Amino acid sequence: MNKLRKIFATDSYIVPLVAIILGFLVGAIVMLAGGYDPIAAYSALFKRVFGSTYDIGEAIREMTPLMLTGLAVAFAFRSGMFNIGADGQVLIGMTAASVVGIKLAALPSFLLVPLAVIAAGLCGGIWAGIAGYLKAKRGINEVITTIMLNWIALFFANYIVRTFLLIPGQNRSEDIPASLSMTFLNSFFDNARLHWGTAIALAAAVFFYVYLWKTKQGYEMRAVGLNPHAAEYAGMNVGRNVIKAMFISGIFAGLAGAGEVLGVFHYQSVFAGSPGYGFDGIAVALLGLTHPFGVILAAILYGTLTYGAAGMSFGADVPPELIRIVIGSIIFFIAAQGIVRWVLKPFYFKRKKEKVL
Amino acid sequence: MDVLTLLGQLLNTTLVFSTALIFASLGGIFSERSGVVNIGLEGLMMFGAFAAAVGGYYAQEAGMGELAPWVGVLSAMAVGIIGSLIHAVASITFKADQTISGTVINFLAAGSTLYMVKLLFEGSGETPLLDGFSKFAIPGLSKIPIIGEGIFNSYPTTYLAIVLVIIVYLVLFKTPFGLRLRAVGEHPSAADTLGVNVNRMRYIGVMMSGMLAGIGGATITLTTTGTFAHNTISGQGFIAIAAMIFGKWNPLGAFGAAVFFGFSQAIRNYVQLFEWSKNIPQEFIYMIPYVLTIIVLVSTVGRSSAPKALGQAYDPSKR
């Protein structure tokens, strides 16, 4: 019981919760200022997400890549790096999964599907590993290399799809025979595009937690993230940890790509611009306080909001961009915890007084 | 078309693409030299592009003619500063993680600008088309071959950007203000001991970055696109960050890097004029600037030379 009280007494969850409420309030104020009805808008949002089993399934589909890219960004963050490149790593993962899924289609599916998923993870990891390598060996800021690698990945993925996988006359690849879809759920979720990527994402979160907090290698990685100089002094190989951390981070992002092409679209398009997975991942990682289970919760929140945003514009005529203001505000309040503490101050004061008595 | 005109045009297009990057990377330098990471340049450019489109439109409607684009620039400066204040308050006053509060700017900008556009222009996803700036040939100088066409027949904002590079350089390295700004980014507690108000200098640095990135965004709407839509700013802010790092946080270096990125943008269109380029997949031509950047970084830049206190909130109790 005492332990339970302890969990609920820490602000580790109070601050994000208050931040979420404040974020919704900011959104409501913005809507009021624009002459919209915030209550109608928010209820339209939630009605859209929880209105039917199809919508619930589709919302889960929306959350899945967010979980994985969020984990990717968070993992790099824990090791002291800012991986802006999840976007490119997702694209490379997608491309690897498409190439394996189409070109090795002769294999039986129990071999083909795992192979495509593994290829996606590995290629995403190697792509991120390039940035890690350049940071470790040449001291080049990973922010700049991951930005550059995002663009290179975009054009490279398009090149592969256009040259090797294209349906002539269309802007997309052939259909991919390998599939991660959970077809057995189709009748229950009314053909929503659920896929095994969700299970992979949850497993990745568990792996993230166990690896970083329960293994020696993870301990080293966190030490490098907290203070590379101290870690080096203690005899840890900082460079190797940097490369490894980026590699694992990239695997998460690559798997997100596999889920999208093998589970959702079943083909890969030629992208005109960045699909934006990586930037959503940054937001999710920050919302989740870079903790794996926090990231899962954050992806659920973020996915609910973005999926519901369409309902908001349909049901209450509010531009769906409003949801980005809400999300931005939530992150703002989480980051600037001082503001939240200030809001909560009267409550804290009361509690302390009770203790004195 | 003869080679001289072609080179002149290539130079001219290069500068058009570079202008926005120059402004934004100079902004980044102000912020980061004072010790505040500014990943929010993208969002600040978005605020600027939006404000320029809206301010310019209303000024044009009010019959201000030639002056209308300048009203756009002024609105972009103002909105850029307001946007950057969010970053400043969170990261300086409330000591939030600077990377996170910069990301917040990107989110808020992407959301609020489009929300406002839809609100102001009856649900339309983009602002009405503007006249914007027109190119201004400097008498005499514009007759010089290549650089006459290339440099001295540009948009007013391009001239402004080039002049600003020199001004920012002088301000940062030759004035007491610049020394203080850099001191705050290198060793805030030493600067504090000597009587420099650390947080005030940082506020100034971040607000300058908002103003300059705002102008950078404005130049895109006022010279290139003519409107503001969801894809007007798509990655330029991040390229500006890259230019700043590439240029080692020095205005002259950032200028060089921005021109390099502008050049690689411009060359895409010109390479396709030649027959031999037909054999190269277009994607590889598009990749050139980004691959080159990495190669150049690998071969020239050693350990990055970021300001020492970059990314750390100043806490006087921790000396």
Q: What is the mean pLDDT of chain B?
A: 87
pLDDT band at B99 (very low <50, low <70, confident <90, very high): confident
On the question of pLDDT at B319 being above 70, the answer is no
Asked if A138 lies within 8 A of B297 by C-beta distance, the reply is yes
DSSP result, chain B = --HHHHHHHHHHHHHHHHHHHHHHHHHHHHHHHTT---TTHHHHHHHHHHHHHHHHHHHHHTT-GGGHHHHHHHHHHHHHHHHHHHHHIIIIIS---HHHHHHHHHHHHHHHHHHHHHHHTTT-SSPPPP-----EEPTTGGGSTTHHHHTSEE-HHHHHHHHHHHHHHHHHHHSHHHHHHHHHHH-HHHHHHTT--HHHHHHHHHHHHHHHHHHHHHHIIIIIISS--TTSSSSHHHHHHHHHHHTTT-HHHHHHHHHHHHHHHHHHHHHTTSGGGGGS-HHHHHHHHHHHHHHHHHHT--S----TTTT----TT--
Q: Which residue ranges make up each domain of chain B?
A: 3-301
pLDDT digits (tens, 9 = 90+) for A74-122: 999 999 898 989 999 999 999 999 999 999 888 888 889 999 999 999 9
For A268, list phi and psi in degrees, rounded to 5: -120, 130
The share of chain B scoring above pLDDT 90, in percent, equals 44
Among the CATH numbers 1.10.3470, 3.40.50, 1.10.357, 2.60.40, which is that of B3-301? 1.10.3470
- The CA-atom distances, in angstroms, between A117 and each of A248, A250, A252, B36, B255 are 15, 13, 11, 40, 43
CA distance A199 to A207: 12
Of B301, B289, B314, the residue nearest B91 (C-alpha): B314
On the question of pLDDT at B302 being above 70, the answer is no
Chain B residue with minimal CA distance to A321?
Answer: B111
pLDDT digits (tens, 9 = 90+) for A149-158: 999 999 999 9
On the question of pLDDT at A12 being above 70, the answer is no
What is the mean pLDDT of the segment spanning B88-94?
Answer: 90
Of A103, A133, A125, the residue nearest A116 (C-alpha): A103
Chain A residue with minimal CA distance to B107?
Answer: A328
pLDDT band at B166 (very low <50, low <70, confident <90, very high): very high
On the question of pLDDT at B72 being above 90, the answer is yes
A343 contacts chain B (CB < 8 A)? no
- The CA-atom distances, in angstroms, between A10 and each of A13, A20, A286, B95, B306 are 7, 17, 19, 20, 36
What is the mean pLDDT of the segment spanning A225-229?
Answer: 87
Q: Tokens in use for B270?
A: 């010109």
Chain B residue with minimal CA distance to A342?
Answer: B94
- Exposed/middle/buried for A320, CB within 10 Å: 0-12, 13-18, 19+? buried
A327 contacts chain B (CB < 8 A)? yes
Asked if A332 lies within 8 A of B284 by C-beta distance, the reply is no
pLDDT given for residue B75 in this prediction: 95
Q: Taking a C-beta distance cutoff of 8 angstroms, is the pair B124, B110 a contact?
A: no
For B37, list phi and psi in degrees, rounded to 5: -60, 135
Task: Give me the torsion for CA of A87, A92, A93, A95, rounded to 10°.
Answer: 130
Q: ipTM more than 0.95?
A: no
Spell out the alpha helix ranges (H) of chain A.
Answer: 2-9, 11-33, 38-50, 53-78, 86-103, 109-138, 142-160, 197-214, 216-226, 228-233, 238-258, 277-287, 292-316, 322-335, 337-356
Of residues A340 and B28, more confidently modeled: B28
pLDDT given for residue A311 in this prediction: 82
Q: What is the mean pLDDT of chain A?
A: 87
What is the mean pLDDT of the segment spanning B18-31?
Answer: 95
Tell me which of B75-79, B185-189, B314-318 is least confident.
B314-318
Asked if A282 lies within 8 A of B86 by C-beta distance, the reply is no
What is the mean pLDDT of the segment spanning A193-205?
Answer: 92
A-chain residues near B302 (CB < 8 A): 138-139
Q: Taking a C-beta distance cutoff of 8 angstroms, is the pair B227, B56 a contact?
A: no
pLDDT given for residue A3 in this prediction: 54
B115 closest CB neighbour out of A151, A286, A319: A319
What is the mean pLDDT of the segment spanning B292-309?
Answer: 74
Q: With H, G, I as helix, E, B as strand and everything else as coil, classify residue A268.
A: coil
Task: Please name every residue paired with B154 in a beta bridge, in sequence order, or none if there are none.
Answer: B136
A273 closest CB neighbour out of B93, B95, B231: B231
Q: With H, G, I as helix, E, B as strand and everything else as coil, classify residue A166.
A: strand
Chain B contact probe: residue of A325, A333, A337, A341 with most B CBs at under 10 A: A325
pLDDT given for residue A1 in this prediction: 46
Chain centroid to CA A117: 17
pLDDT digits (tens, 9 = 90+) for A241-258: 999 999 999 999 999 999
Token pair 């010089």: residue? B144
DSSP result, A276-314 = -HHHHHHHHHHHTTT-HHHHHHHHHHHHHHHHHHHHHHH
Task: Give pTM, 2 decimals.
Answer: 0.88
The share of chain A scoring above pLDDT 90, in percent, equals 45
pLDDT given for residue B162 in this prediction: 93
Which A residues 76-105 touch B at CB under 8 Å? Answer: 82, 84
pLDDT given for residue A353 in this prediction: 52
pLDDT given for residue A357 in this prediction: 46
Task: Please name every residue paired with A273 in a beta bridge, in sequence order, or none if there are none.
Answer: none
Give the gap in angstroms from C-alpha A184 to the nearest C-alpha of chain B.
38
Q: Taking a C-beta distance cutoff of 8 angstroms, is the pair A47, A349 a contact?
A: no
Of residues A161 and B264, more confidently modeled: A161
Which A residues 159-218 touch B at CB under 8 Å? Answer: 159, 162-163
DSSP single-letter state for residue A209:
H
What is the mean pLDDT of the segment spanning B66-86?
Answer: 93
Using alpha carbons only, what angle is made at residue B66 by residues B63 and B69, rounded to the nearest 5 degrees? Answer: 95
DSSP single-letter state for residue A269:
B
For B25, half-sphere exposure in the C-beta direction (CA atoms, 13 angstrom radius) is 36
Asked if A274 lies within 8 A of B235 by C-beta distance, the reply is yes
B107 closest CB neighbour out of A151, A155, A328: A328
